[in-house]
Homo-oligomer: A and B are copies of this chain.
Amino acid sequence: MQTLTVKTERHTQLVDVTAQIQSAVSASRVANGVCYLYVPHTTAAITINECADPYVARDVEGALDRLIPAVGPYQHGEGDSDSHIKAVLVGSSQIVFVEGGKLALGRWQGVFLCEFDGPRERKLHAKVMAD
């Protein structure tokens, strides 16, 4: 298991971590297999979506903020219930295939750590298993 560190800069932010994860895959020396990704936080998540136009990530951030209001009839006393709910909707784990030592992402796909209660320093665990 490798652990990456990701610095986030805004309260809600999708951070493109594709290059860092590719480095972890390269370090594993696995040619063909599965890369497992896991976020050990409860107000952050991981997703795979378009990285070509950064406005897509911004639109996802805005949509999630509109969908889950910051102020609601919440009982948790820390004021970040919306962050937890967004993390549940996006999810804390993903898999990507590895082919020829590279993440087998689609043409427009990148991997994003999703910050929902930043700015913070976050961790992202990655493990690569050979076929």
A4 interface residue (CB < 8 Å to B)? no
Query: Which of B38, B48, B64, B89 is close to A95, meaning CB atoms less than 8 Å apart?
Result: B38
Interface: A105 (CB within 8 A): yes
Tell me the A residues contacting B by CB distance below 8 Å.
1, 32, 34, 36, 38-42, 47-50, 53, 55-56, 58-60, 62-64, 66-68, 72-78, 81-82, 84-85, 87-97, 99, 104-109, 123, 125, 127, 129, 131
* A73 partner residues in chain B, CB cutoff 8 A: 62
| A88–B75 CB distance below 8 A | no
| B34/A56 in contact, CB under 8 A | no
Given the interface pairs A56-B76, A63-B81, the reply to whether A47 lies near B91 with Cβ below 8 Å is yes
